[in-house]
Structures are given as C-alpha cells and as structure tokens.
A and B are shown apart, each in its own frame.
Chain A
Amino acid sequence: MQVHLVGAHNRRQYADLLEQNHRLRHRVFVELQGWEALRRPDKREIDQFDGPDATYILVTDEGELVGGSRFNRLDGPNLLQTVFPGLVTEEFPAPPELGADWTRFYVRPDRREGRRRAPESAALFCSMMEYALSEGFSFITFVSTVYMVELGVAMGWRIVLLGSPAKIDGKPTVAAWIEVSEAALASVRRTTGIDRQLLPHGTRTPLPSSGLSLPVTS
C-alpha cells in the first residue's frame, strides 16, 4: 500500500490517478451513499473545490486506487463555509490561514468487507495528520456523520464541534475541527498500529503565490 500527496506542484504527473479518484468518488458518494446532489451524467464526482488549490491524499495498492481524501485551505474557497454554513455557529480556534477543510474521505467499499479494520482508512487518518503537521496547520475542519466523530475521538483526537448536529438527507451530521499536534499523530499511530511515516519525506506543498500563508501578525 502506498500513500501519495498530490497538490499543485505535482498534479500533472498524477492526472490518471486523479481521474480514477473522480470516478471512484461518484461510485462511493452518489451510488452507494446516496448524495444525489453530487450525481453527474458522466459519473465523475467533481465540484468547484477540485480546482488547482486542492490537495489530495490518495492511497494505492499495486497501482490501484483504494482510498482518498481532499483538502482545501480555509483561507481560500472551501466546502465547509460554502455548502454547510448552517452547520457552523462557532469560531475557528485559530485564523483560517492555519486550517484546512477535509472532505471526500473514502475507502473503496470492497476493501472494507469482512475486515476488522480497513488498513486503508488507518493509512488515511495517519497521513492526514502527517500532512497537517508538515503544512503547519493547527486545525482541520470536516463535516461528517456523528459516527465519524466517535471514530476520531476513539483514536485519541481532540475534536471540537463547530455547531449543533443536524439531520441532512436523513443522516445525523455535524461540523467540527480536529486539533493538529504531534500527540494526535502519536495516538493515531498507536491506535492504528502504523508506526512509520506514510507520506513521502520532503513533500511539503509549495506556498500559494497569493502570500496568504505569511506569518499571522494579528
């Protein structure tokens, strides 16, 4: 199993894998989980947050895509504040420059069958925290069912709600943020049994040209 960090600096060389990602996302989020608003006739799940600023963590096994996640910086356009503003009533814990929004987390469905724990999801959780630390983020936001919050907390993460839970498409849904820290990386590694760095070393994505990631003075 291999973990790839795909951003503006290397997305051209990952064109094929990104295309697989859009098709697999359609299968998972539309056809299996029933998010009808995301359905597209070409069966590629893609939205305005898949632009050049998006960063992806993709997991492959023998060259095949088996899981993925997407990240958008919170000082740029992001799904949380555009699509789910109603779920967010609380303040971020730090300026938006220090956070990213985590979306489109999935593991290819057949990889979950009959297993006590999908190693793909463990790899995604660990590499998410590696990525957040390497980028210098202090928090990661997400919108998910309340069940995912239980899973994150059970991995030792500090998760703080950004608003009250609400029913969306019949599912109990909540917005929250995860504290980024070395301790959070240590505990997710301990609970998943992964004891090594998964992201390739030295893959920190270059700073955006807008200069928005300069040190915060306020």
Chain B
Amino acid sequence: MNTDLMTTIEAIQHQSVGSAILDILFQAVGRYGFDRFIISGLPDRGQDVRPFVLLSGWPDAWYDRYTALGYVHLDPVARHCFSTTLPFEWSRATYDPESDLPAKRVMDEAIDFGMNDGFCIPVHMEGGMQGVVSLVGDTRALTDHSRLELHMLSLYAHGRLRYLNTSQGDPHRRRAITAREAEVLKWAAGGKTAGEIAAITGLTERTVNAHCMNAQAKLGTKNRVHTVVEAIRHKLITL
C-alpha cells in the first residue's frame, strides 16, 4: 500500500496536541496537490463556528473574515456536506449565483484569497452531528484511488483531533502519573519505606522520594499516605 499514507496516519496517531498535526497534514495533503485546509464541525444555523474549529490551515486573514462574518452559514460547500456522505469537489456544491448572492459572495471572496478550487470530505458523526475536512487546491489530477486515500486520511485526522479536543482538560488525564511513580507508590502502599523501596527497585532513596513528591504534586495530595490513597481511588495503581 501507499507507505506515505501509512506513515502519515501513524504520525497523526502519535500526536497528543492538535497543533502538532498541522505540519503533518500540510505535508501530506501537499503530496496530492493541496496547500491549505480546515477541519471543523459545522454549527447549527446562527451559531459561531469558532468553537467548532478543530484545526485551521487557512490563511489567517481568510480565517478571521470567514469566522467573524458567519460565512459558514452562507458557504455552499459547507451546506453541501449535509447532503452527501462521499467527498466532493467544491464545484459540485452548486448554488444559483443569480438568487443566492451571499453564497456567491463567499465563493468570490475565496477566489480573491487564492482559493479557487478544493476537495471537501464531509464527516457524519453519531447523533447527526456534522463535520468537515476541506482541502484547498487543484482537484483536476485526483484519481479514484487518491480520492479514497484522502477520504481515509481526512477522517483519521478528524477522529484524532476530535479525541484530543474532548480529552483536553479532562481531570483524569491531568492526574496521570508515570509508570515509575506508580511502581514506587505500589511499594509504599505495601508498607515499604523509602529505603526499602530503593533497595527493591535499584533506585536511590533520594529518587524514590522525588517520585513520591512528583506524584503528590500531580495528584494534589498532602502526604505520602494521601497520595497512595488517591492513586488507588483513581485506579492509577492496582494492588
């Protein structure tokens, strides 16, 4: 199979912050002839799109204008996402330029920003929520195969970003301690002193104490017993 696609997907999987995916995607979509992209949820009518944006690879000026003026609600490409599950070229998102002047304005202004053509991947989520990955660039060289690869790549990036977005600020994530800290706390839970733990693990006593202090700081606890209790309660260690 296409090793670039495989490598890109693995690289996306390994990122733990959304912004780290930006460069990976610029490079990946570049191979298919695209130079800009945006990944976003689509809000209900009248809602601000900004909280829904997962990752923007748009020019800042266009992003600011598009989001501030609520263009997502006028954009025929965004509208077309609701009516298909398959990816489509922007040109397939038809509108009547005579009667639908707002749509024409969005598309004309996009061209002013050098965004004439693009490829759009709708994302339908459970419960009817709608998302989109929109790639900016010339679509004429796309083959059936590259369309499928872009579909897969885009959905993968969307899924990963959605996960990172929802898990941020999760108290359980922030609580996480390292494997070594967990090991030290397990021995402490078994009644071992710092000296004994040092002898068992081959660490110095000072390092054992440092691990305990770090775990205490992460868990927001007051002393060693409190740290062990909280670690057990949150299932960070099992005895």
Contacts and interface: CB of A to CB of B under 8 A. Distances in A.
Contacts of A152: 159
Interface string A142-166: 0000110111111110111101111
B159 A190 contact: no
Contacts of B151: 146, 165, 172
Contacts of B149: 164-165
B13 interface: yes
Contacts of B160: 153-154
Interface of A: 89-90, 115-118, 121, 146-147, 149-156, 158-161, 163-167, 172, 174, 186-187, 190-191
Contacts of A160: 9-10, 13
B170 A90 contact: no
B83 interface: no
A168 B134 CA distance: 24
Nearest to B131: A150
Contacts of A167: 144, 148
B85 interface: yes
Nearest to A89: B1
Is the contact region of chain B dominated by helix, strand, or loop, or is it mixed?
A: helix
Given A147-B155, A163-B1, A156 B9 contact: no
A156 B163 CA distance: 6
Contacts of B2: 164
B231 to A, nearest CB: 15
B127 interface: yes
A174 B170 contact: no
Contact of A149 (B6, B125, B127, B156): B156
Contacts of A89: 1
A164 B127 contact: no
A154 B159 contact: yes
A154 B5 CA distance: 19
A138 B158 CA distance: 25
Given A117-B126, A153-B156, A165-B151, 7 more contacts: A89-B1, A116-B128, A151-B159, A156-B163, A164-B145, A166-B148, A167-B144
